[in-house]
Amino acid sequence: MEAEGRLVEHNCIEEKVLGYRYNVNSDTLSLAPCTVESAADTKRKVLSQISKVFDPLNFTLPALNEQKTYGLHVFCNSSTEAYGFVMYACSDDNQSSFLFAKSKLAPLRKGNEHSVPTLELMGVILALKCLPTLMETYRNIQFQFVNICADAKVVLNWIITKESKVKSKFIRNRILEVDYLKNEIVKEFKVPVKYNYVHTEQNPADLLTRGLSYNKFLENRKFWLEGPEWLNNNFERWPKYPFMSLSPQHKGKVNVNYVQIVKVNTGFLNINKFSSYERLVKFTSYFFRPLCKVKGGDPRERAKKYWIEIAQSECFSKEIEFLKKEVKSEQNVPSLVSNLNLFIDEDLEEGLLSAYILTIMFIILCCFQKCIN
């Protein structure tokens, strides 16, 4: 090109390639800078501003690391004008990133307007309908759970109890639809679906439904892209709110679901490297063989009790600490202890945590398994 006189020289270190900026030295592509006018107040002007961002290869779309595991946190919200949700992917190292958002206008039928809680419920349904497509897109990513967050306690009460005191057939049908969509996600992707309450001021989906100016959005840009500051996969670190609308038995169920998500500290072994529980127990039993030769016992049984003890000490530390106290206060009884009648089984060699109700459930499951076989 230089010999033929067709070489164009300039002071910029980047070249234009298919609308992108190509850096010759670092061999990287970047978006061309553009100035977006924030005063666009018509549909034509908005489309004109959007077209300034040239990105046919979709470099600005979110990506996830296939070497990490993630939790999906979905924040739902509604107003009298719109309802929708925003989703974040949070890794185990507490790095959260915006993944997807969607909203819809509220129905504007005169004389038959929906209440805000009803629209909030429709926002949850919208999220559950979009989740299968999104999770299918990231099929190579390992998701630990799906956490649905809402700032309407009455809606969470409807979903968890699967009943409503409102005499509305529309709401009752939507509650059944939520349960059906949730079960389909659990069945298809083998991940638990949880529910959580979040305060309105800390709900990023509130930005989606209330409407805000461009300058106001810039002030909340970090909040929108990363979620609340406390967003992580350890629910013990989440803000605690009283849930007066739920009965004690339902509160216990919610707490149990959250406790099961806690990552277990496995000590010298990384259980994520084992493909199955049986392989983990078999490998661990090798360490107990010398001890069993001296004191007797089955190495596999000791290996099983070892992992049960580790899981319980990590997930039920508050309950175990309370039960081991010689003098127990009746005012500070953990909900799991009172709801499930937990106790320390001294008959077991390690003094493992046990419960009458868990024993009964185990017997029922064994009988059910025999009937199937």
The predicted structure's pLDDT at residue 248 = 55
User: Which structural domains are found in the chain, ordered by start?
Assistant: 1-61 (no CATH), 69-248 (3.30.420.10)
Name the residue with tokens 């039993």. Answer: 285
The model carries a pTM of 0.56
Backbone φ and ψ for 350, nearest 5 degrees, come out as: -90, -5
Residues of the chain with pLDDT under 50: 252-264, 349-350, 356-366, 368, 370-373
Residue with tokens 């081991």: 324
Could you tell me if residue 271 is left (phi over 0), alpha (psi between -120 and 50 degrees) or otherwise beta?
A: alpha
pLDDT in tens, 321-354: 777 776 566 666 776 666 666 766 655 544 555 5
Q: How confident is the model over 36-69, as pLDDT tens digits?
A: 777 777 888 888 887 777 777 777 766 788 888 8
In whole angstroms, give the CA distance from residue 262 to residue 90.
14
For residues 156-190, one letter each, b for 16 or more C-beta atoms within 10 angstroms of the residue's C-beta and e for the rest, the string is bbbbbbeebeeeeeebeebbebbeebbeebeeeee
Phi-psi category of residue 145: left, alpha or beta, with phi > 0 → left and psi -120 to 50 → alpha: beta
Task: Say how many Å lie between the first and final Cα of the chain, rounded.
Answer: 77
Structural tokens at position 6? 């067709």
Q: Are 176 and 128 in contact (CB under 8 A)?
A: no
**Whole-number Å distance between alpha carbons of 202 and 206:** 8
Cα–Cα–Cα angle for 103, 236, 206, nearest 5°?
20
Q: Are 182 and 193 in contact (CB under 8 A)?
A: yes
Which residue type, as a one-letter code, is found at position 228?
P
Question: Can you read off the two tokens belonging to residue 44?
Answer: 């034509």
Of all helices (H) and strands (E), which one includes residue 17?
strand 14-17
Q: What is the pLDDT of residue 59?
A: 72
Q: Which residues pair with 70 in a beta bridge?
A: 91, 143
